[in-house]
Structure 1
Amino acid sequence: MATIHPTALVDPHAELDTDVEIGPYTIVGPHVRIGAGTRVAAHCVIEGRTTIGPHNRIYPFVSLGLPSQDKKYAGEPCELVIGARNTIREYSTYHIGTVQGGGVTRLGDDNWMMAYTHLAHDCVVGNHCIFANNAQLAGHVQVGDWVILGGFTVVHQFVRIGAHAMTAMCALLFADVPPFVMAQGQPAQARSMNFEGLRRRGFGPERIAAVKAMHKALYREGLTLPQADERIAALAQRYPAAHDDLALMRSFLAGVDPQRGIVRSRRGAEA
């Protein structure tokens, strides 16, 4: 049975799995579902059509599942879906989606979300990400797996951040960040690739060399994005062990909005 503090207000229609813990003065609404082993600390608010998977740790003063801050939202039955084994620290705020964005805001599995992080409506965050304090996503942002956002990173609406990318503290993102890229600045520029992070995740020398070659094509040869994509496609024969990494980059580049583009380095050409 779930353990609910006597001061908590849990709607009788909420669905709490086994071993769920609800702390003092926390409020849980009628459409909430919480998976086994999840612990919700004191003074949290979980409302709306919110589904939380198993074994999450939710710290005090977190707000989940409230209506989006989109003025077009008119009370439609949209959702917030949170996966498994996430840590969500104090004062974080994650809103439900909107019908214009598919209706679902989604956080994957095994993410480490520090204090004051914000997921606006219709954001999709992958797995194994780290958001440092005050990392903020506007609506419709997409974040791949293994992304690290430095403290006070601010992401404009509809921006995409590719897998294994990283931002420095106070980065301001108006353009897409391709996979593996490290970005810094206001507005953010590409500084390098996340080589140390890749090594820690088990990338071997050939895969690291392929990432370096992709960085060169994107940022060091003065190529347009279509030209860089052709250069990256040609790397497959040279780096067979990096087939999936090359495919990841090419898939990401195929989805870049020409009006938004990607973060560029000071020496890079425009798309």
Structure 2
Amino acid sequence: MNQPLAYIHPGAKIAKNVVVEPFTTIHNNVTIGDGTWIGSNVTIMEGARIGKNCNIFPGAVISAPPQDLKYNGEDTIVTIGDNTTIRECATIHKGTSDRHKTVIGKNCLIMAYCHIAHDCIVGDNCIFSNNSTLAGHVTIGDNVILAGLVAVHQFVSVGQHAFVTGGSLVRKDVPPFVKAAREPLSYVGINSVGLRRRGFPSEKIREIQNIYRILYQKHYNNSQATQIIEAEMEATPERDEILQFIRDSQRGIMKGYFSNN
């Protein structure tokens, strides 16, 4: 870890077996866990909390002050979970007085040139492909995949196990377990490939499909659809996750491609 061509502030708390490559700068009030590798020309600013066995590639900037004109220097942080990889030139900004933190979960892959803005909460096992961008206050569930060049509007939520196709503009909330595509962004089916890869049995996938048929293909409005789903579908964790997501949505959920509701 002793790298004479890197600058490490004496106040940073770095595990003994962390590797820091040349020309990297690590500021005060930073914590880095065991087994993490920090590539060359990385900048890690005050408030970073980086877990174990992470990999941070050259050019990345972690815990910079947010690009929010309301930010007034309050003490906030960025937390990055264990086994997460941050690729080249990605930027992750610390929180504001809203959530006081920006969080990236465990086992995530954040590819080159992604931007994760202030007060975002990203779950575990997520993959963000190149140049995907989250505006402030976005919430991303576990096991979400954003393909390249996805742009997510501030305060949007994306439910767990969702897949958003490349080049999408995400202006509305994306419910759990679905595929989102087209312009404007729409429901185009459930993420059956991703669910199978993660061990969901066929009967569970059919259950999720039946729920979304009611929501998106029966020409009900959202209130009618949720009442029917709750009345006619057996209570399961997946059903309840979908219903709770819809009820909690602040921006409204995305439409179905053929839906008029």
Shorter-normalised TM range:
over 0.9
Of all paired residues, the percent bearing the same amino acid is 38
Q: Does 1:254 align with 2:252?
A: no
Q: Which residue of 1 aligns with 2:124?
A: 127
Q: Give secondary structure in 2 for the equivalent of 1:254.
A: helix
Q: Does 1:263 align with 2:254?
A: yes
Q: Is the 8 A contact 1:132 1:152 kept in 2?
A: yes
Q: Give secondary structure in 1 for the equivalent of 2:102.
A: strand
Indicate how the Cα distance of structure 1 residues 21 and 235 shifts in structure 2: closer, same or farther if over 3 A, else same.
farther
Cα distance in 2 for partners of 1:58, 1:186 equals 34
Moved more, 217-226 or 70-79: 217-226
Cα distance in 1 for partners of 2:88, 2:215 equals 38
Q: Give secondary structure in 1 for the equivalent of 2:83.
A: coil
**Equivalent of residue 39 in structure 1, options 34, 37, 41:** 37
Q: Which residue of 1 aligns with 2:92?
A: 94
Cα distance in 2 for partners of 1:234, 1:53 equals 44
Q: Which residue of 2 aligns with 1:152?
A: 149
Equivalent residue runs for 1:110-125 within 5 Å:
110-125=107-122
Moved more, 182-191 or 212-221: 182-191
Letter in 2 for 1:215: Y
Gap regions ≥5 residues in structure 2: none
Q: Which residue of 1 aligns with 2:201?
A: 204
1:236 deviation in Å? 4.1
Q: Does 1:245 align with 2:242?
A: no
Cα distance in 2 for partners of 1:17, 1:185 equals 46
Give a deviation string over 1:72-103, Cα, whole Å, max 9, x none.
0010101111111001100000000000x211
Letter in 1 for 2:247: A
Q: Give secondary structure in 2 for the equivalent of 1:4.
A: coil
Q: After TM superposition, what 4+ stretches of structure 1 lie above 3 angstroms from structure 2?
A: none
Cα distance in 2 for partners of 1:117, 1:229 equals 35
1:232 deviation in Å? 2.3
Aligned pairs, number: 261
Cα distance in 2 for partners of 1:114, 1:4 equals 27
Q: Give secondary structure in 2 for the equivalent of 1:65.
A: strand
Q: Give secondary structure in 1 for the equivalent of 2:62.
A: strand
Equivalent residue runs for 1:17-96 within 5 Å:
17-96=15-94
1:235 deviation in Å? 4.7
Q: TM-score, normalised by structure 1?
A: 0.94
Letter in 1 for 2:162: A
Letter in 1 for 2:62: L
Letter in 2 for 1:159: V
Gap regions ≥5 residues in structure 1: none
Cα distance in 1 for partners of 2:16, 2:229 equals 49
